Every structure is written in structure tokens, then in C-alpha cells.
Amino acid sequence: MHTRDTPEQRAIRRKGRLVMRHVEVRRRLEALSAISPVLDDAIGAWLSTVTVRRLRVAGVPTLADLLLLIRVHGYRWYRNVPRIGELVARRPVTWLGHQEQTLGPVAKTALVSLAQIGPWIKEPPARSPWCRPSGCAHETGTARLHSSCRKQRRCQISAAPPSGGRALDATHPRTQARRSRR
């Protein structure tokens, strides 16, 4: 015959399961503290299971891939990972910051947003070999790849003709029709 458990017995069993989980976590942490992480390690060995599951969906299987993702996208790297928000994203970044000796440095921009960094710390954007240091020169077409140009589309697709006449827009249907007739 099956006897019903009393609330006290259920509480004892629940507490026993909790203690066993704590013992298992402690055992795992003790084993991890004896070794240092390596870039080729799977993220599952170092991060929480929920975070690991979400990172794997985003195609991040190793610590090297995670570091690359953070270095490329900076503070908002988590936007490329489904169901990870700003608070959860801080944990792996902070942990990676503590592991700089073995894994390499984490970019300072990964730790705080650019809005919190003063303008004196921000690095200027890298200049393209096609842009002029003084700014954009639409008339001569010398700034075709200049990223800060307000008329960037025009710079990329047109240049002044040698005769000084009007530049042709390469994407305009009439221009394309003229070129096809040639």
C-alpha cells in the first residue's frame, strides 16, 4: 500500500536535492580552479548551461569564438545572440576579463558602452586609403569610400567628368539604358 508523504518528508527530500546540487557545483568549481582556460576550450566547460545553449544557437562553440564575437561587436555583442540581454552578457565578459593572462585581453569597449566612455578615449575611425584627410571632395570623386561623408552614396557611384559637365549617376535607369546601347 502506498503511503502519502507528509509535508515535512517532502521538505527534507527537497533540501537533500538542494544540498546535492551544491556539492556538485562545488566539486565542479574545485576542478575548474585547478586548470586555466584555453582558447580552444568549449564554452560549456566554463559558462552556465543556459548561456552556453544560447551561444551555441548563435554559432559560438569555443572561447575563441566568444572572444572574437566580443572583440568585433564590442559592448553590444549580445545583440547577435538570441535571448541574451545586457545583464546576462556582462557575466562572460567579466569572467573573460579575469582570464586575460591565458586568453588575451578583452577590449575596453566590451566592458562599458561607448556612451559611458569619454570622447577623449574613443579611437578615431580608421581611414580608407581612398579618402582624403581633409574631407570629401565630391567634385573630383576622390572620396569614394569615405565613411563620414554625408553624401556617401553620391561619392560611391559618381565622379565629375573630365570636361567639367554633370556627373552621371551609375544607378539611374537612363544611365543604365545608355550604357546598354553602347
* pLDDT of 7: 93
66 within 8 A of 55, measured Cβ to Cβ: yes
Structure confidence by residue, pLDDT tens digits, 122-140 = 455 454 444 444 444 444 4
How many CB atoms lie under 10 A from the CB of residue 6? 9
**Torsion angles phi and psi, residue 87, rounded to 5:** -70, -45
Mean pLDDT for all residues in the chain: 75
Of residues 73 and 31, the one with the higher pLDDT is 73
* pLDDT of 39: 94
Q: How far apart are CA 180 and CA 87, in angstroms?
A: 55
Cell output for 159: 565622379
Helices (H), the chain: 7-33, 49-57, 63-73, 86-98, 100-103, 152-157, 173-181
Please determine, for residue 34, whether its predicted confidence score (pLDDT) is greater than 70. yes
Domain locations in the chain? 37-116, 124-182
Rg (CA), the chain: 28
Q: How far apart are CA 29 and CA 34, in angstroms?
A: 9
Structure confidence by residue, pLDDT tens digits, 43-90 = 998 999 999 999 999 999 999 999 999 998 988 999 999 999 999 999
